[in-house]
Structure 1
Amino acid sequence: MSDVRAVNASTGRVQDAPSGNFVDRFVPGRLRPYAQLARLDRPIGWWLLMWPCWWSVALAGVAVGAAPNLAHLALFMIGAIVMRGAGCTYNDILDRNIDAHVERTKSRPIPSGRVSAEAAMLFMLLLAFIGLAVLLSFNAFTIMMAFGSLVIVAFYPLAKRVTDWPQFILGLAFSWGAWLGWSATLGTVGWAPAFLYVGSICWTIGYDTIYAHQDRRDDAIIGVRSTARHFGANTKRAVGLFYGATVLLFAGALWFAGAGLFGYLGLAAFAIHLGQQVTRVSTDDPASCLDAFRSNRWAGWLLFVGLVADSML
């Protein structure tokens, strides 16, 4: 492993990033550590942050009988990319001493010494200002709703030090877009986005528990807490329950939005995908956990396409 770390340090590659990714291939060397801080080499994170936003926009389209607002979808994508980058940078600043002792994370820019904590803070503020510019493009109600998530975002990196349920706190933050897509379209909230929000929290707990199994042994050594450690050998059963709750809550969201056949077909395809994750993943195999985690990008597409078809047809 020491040889692997030496190679990563010399090439500037982050150990847990996919090989041959966009950042390693095309971003200039001086900018590469900052792109890695923003996790541009691991896009799955911004997909997972974006999906509740896009689902919510599409669900609002179902409610009003119109196609999703393309400008809103574009803004939420940009916002997800930059705010996920800002959040990950903030997390890396706070966790730099922990990351230095975890095999998967010690090659990241801050613990490897390629970016100072001070430079990372300035980069985080730049991303946050871009995110603010995106947010100000929406209506006043949506802007106020978005600021409600800041306390949760600030607390999340500390949660794994004080609770076995940091994945729940992550869910509260990552699912916030379930409110915003609806409010950006309708200027209000309602039962449909409420069910979507709670269901997205359950979805986040499920997929991030799978993800956390990659670090279970290192986390036990350094005292970091997680649902992966909490559930242990019962993880697949627990994730199955959370995924089941996700599907039921999303069904409630579709019902309150007045969805038709195509919306429920999309939800059925989404449910089948989640079921396959649970049956196929091996929580003792980090590669299997990472594959299952990343596959949630495609799960998101299945539900989104169903909602869009329902809103248009």
Structure 2
Amino acid sequence: MNHANAAALPAWRAKLALYLDLIRWNRPAGWLLLLWPTLSALWVAASGWPGWHLLLVFTLGTILMRSAGCCINDVADRDFDRHVKRTAQRPITSGRMSVREALAVGAALAFAAFLLVLTTTPAAILLSLPALAVALVYPYAKRHVSMPQAVLGVAFSFGIPMAFGVMQVESGVAAWSWSSLVAAVPWQAWGLVVSNLFWVLAYDTEYAMVDRDDDLRIGMKTSAITLGRWDVAGVTAFYLLHLALWGGLLWPAVGGAVFGLALAAALAQVVWHYGMIRERTRDGCFRAFRLNHWLGLTLFLGVAGHYALKALG
């Protein structure tokens, strides 16, 4: 919504529109990128349908935390965003919202997500703490880490061990210890975290390729800048590593025709993405990033489809 249209709205609607702009409500691809691997892990951990309660907790929690992350990111990057064409009109950077107000919105969203986690198990509650810490650190990693997308990959992957922890830890006093948590989350879950990290590196490098010229000018660090002329090859390699690890780790649980077809369809999408980014155009790279959630959905359907057929006998 542009400034003129916003000014013509009643005060409360204009404020709501501003908040929705802050959390990128009109760009759901961001939270879908978090949601699909989390739901895949939830289905595997539950050996099928996890129930409405956990589905709602993880879906709403993902949306809330992604929205809170947008608030934190925009506050941290407000001095950089005004120099980047794509981000110059964000609410904080354009002066339409104060830093204090944005932080209050982010805190409220994160608190709502935490209330959802409190309805699950001690394992999920304990894991939510480092998840929040990494989410707070990521915006500042872009100043100091040559590939901050790796930090984002960790932040975007915490739903995976939380899904396993919810299913495998029984509530009780003993379950509140970190040792119980380590025992509850199998090594395969952490392997899936690594696999998902490679996917985040792939799509967020595509995203960083859009802003490379602006980021070089203002001194921001990104994987697109670090990889240089190897950016397209690096993105392709990240995709292939993701699919190899994801497929290998999940095959013992969900291997078969449905999951195999999903992996093949995901691989076809990697070829498609290569075609979109090989010329390194802004439009092509941004389109590739925005369409990434289809790859995640494809892999989730492979997992859910396997268990659905299994339930049908």
TM-score, structure 1 normalization: 0.88
Residues 60-79 of structure 1 mapped to structure 2, 5 A cutoff: 60-61=45-46, 64=47, 66-79=48-61
Distance in 1 (CA, whole Å) between partners of 2:186 and 2:260 is 20
Q: Which residue of 2 aligns with 1:217?
A: 213
Residues 100, 106 of structure 1: 8 Å contact kept: yes
Q: Which residue of 2 aligns with 1:127?
A: 109
Structure 2 stretches of 5 or more lacking a match? 170-183
Query: Secondary structure at 1:103's aligned position in 2?
Result: coil
Residues 60, 182 of structure 1: 8 Å contact kept: yes
User: Residues 33-92 of structure 1, C-alpha deviation per residue, up to 9 Å, x if partnerless?
Assistant: 11111111211111112122111012224xx3x334333222111111111111110111
Query: Secondary structure at 2:15's aligned position in 1?
Result: coil
* Superposition deviation, residue 258 in structure 1: 5.2
Matched, 1:307 2:303: yes
The AA in structure 1 aligned to 2:290 is R
Structure 1 stretches of 5 or more lacking a match? 1-6, 14-23
Residues 194-273 of structure 1 mapped to structure 2, 5 A cutoff: 194-257=190-253, 259-273=255-269
Q: Which residue of 2 aligns with 1:21?
A: none
* Superposition deviation, residue 214 in structure 1: 1.1
Identity %: 35
- Structure 1's consecutive aligned runs of 4 or more residues displaced over 4 angstroms after TM superposition are none
Q: Which residue of 2 aligns with 1:96?
A: 78
For 1:113, which of 95, 99, 109 is the aligned residue? 95
Q: Which residue of 1 aligns with 2:177?
A: none
Distance in 2 (CA, whole Å) between partners of 1:282 and 1:33 is 36
Residues 165, 185 of structure 2: 8 Å contact kept: yes
* Superposition deviation, residue 261 in structure 1: 3.1
Matched, 1:157 2:136: no
Structure 2 CA distance for partners of 1:42 and 1:283, relative to 1, 3 Å: farther
Residues 210, 283 of structure 1: 8 Å contact kept: no
Residues 8, 107 of structure 1: 8 Å contact kept: no
* Superposition deviation, residue 256 in structure 1: 4.5
What CA RMSD, in Å, does the superposition of the two structures yield over aligned residues? 2.0
Distance in 2 (CA, whole Å) between partners of 1:270 and 1:169 is 24
Residues 6-45 of structure 1 mapped to structure 2, 5 A cutoff: 8-11=2-5, 28-45=13-30
Paired residues in the alignment total 292
For 2:155, which of 173, 189, 202 is the aligned residue? 173
* Superposition deviation, residue 282 in structure 1: 4.3
Distance in 1 (CA, whole Å) between partners of 2:6 and 2:236 is 38
* Superposition deviation, residue 152 in structure 1: 1.4
Q: Which residue of 1 aligns with 2:286?
A: 290
* Superposition deviation, residue 138 in structure 1: 1.2
Residues 191, 256 of structure 1: 8 Å contact kept: no
TM-score, structure 2 normalization: 0.88
Distance in 2 (CA, whole Å) between partners of 1:67 and 1:287 is 39
Query: Secondary structure at 2:105's aligned position in 1?
Result: helix
Distance in 1 (CA, whole Å) between partners of 2:162 and 2:208 is 27
User: Residues 241-267 of structure 1, C-alpha deviation per residue, up to 9 Å, x if partnerless?
Assistant: 111110111022213435333223222
